[in-house]
Amino acid sequence: MQVSGIALAISTALGVPGGVLLALTRFPGRKLAVVAVYTGMAAPPVVVGLFVYLMLSRSGVLGSLNLSLVPGLFTAGAMVAAQVIIAFPLVAGFTMASVSGVDPALRLQVRALGASQWQVTWAVLDEARVGVIAAIVAGFGGIISEVGAVMMVGGNIEGRTRVLTTAIVLETSKGNFDLAIALGIILVGIAFLTNYLIVRLQGRSFD
């Protein structure tokens, strides 16, 4: 939860404004940016893991700089970096689609009332809030269920970088199916509880 929670917070902080920017503004290279986001939404997690591994390795672009802010391989920071790259396109892409679906007349009405550009953007974002929350759910689902990337950059080290998904893979390979199933139930339970809270946040009622 710590790794996925931090990754989701960063992805949300970057992805929601990014999606709004792509939906409401026009700038040179916008189409290329949209294509890049859509490509990222479909990128295989193992490819993301390979990219992060190469970037953070000692001979990589970031690893060779020896900067304190750059996480090393086989650390929780490297796992967060991989999960952010996985979740960001999901959050940005679905946010962009949701905001783009808001009636353009709303912006005209709000502007006619004398609202600033920031107030117009906030009004549109509020109208699209259900879709934005769904975008965050999609980002959370993309990272909490991920195995390949976090295993590549985290190393699945017990007590340091082993998470539920990598532990399930390990215990299954060892033949400990009872423990693997128990961990799977815990993982599904966490996902269910989180999504339940998010749906409640959307204001929907349950039978």
Q: pLDDT tens digits for 65-123? A: 766 677 888 999 999 999 999 999 999 999 999 999 999 898 888 888 888 888 989 99
Domains identified in the chain, total number: 1
**Contacts (Cβ under 8 Å, ≥6 apart) of 50:** 152
**Which CATH number fits the domain that encloses residue 111?**
1.10.3720.10
* Domain contains 199: no
pTM of the full predicted structure?
0.89
* Domain contains 108: yes
- Per the structure block, which two tokens stand in for 69? 């802010």
* Domain contains 173: no
The half-sphere exposure of 82 on its side-chain side, counting CA atoms within 13 A, is 36
Instruction: State which residues form the domain around 94.
Output: 2-159
Q: What is the mean pLDDT of residues 134-155?
A: 92
* Domain contains 73: yes
**Contacts (Cβ under 8 Å, ≥6 apart) of 134:** 94, 98
**Contacts (Cβ under 8 Å, ≥6 apart) of 51:** 85
* Domain contains 45: yes
* Domain contains 186: no
- Average predicted confidence (pLDDT) for the chain: 90
The half-sphere exposure of 207 on its side-chain side, counting CA atoms within 13 A, is 0
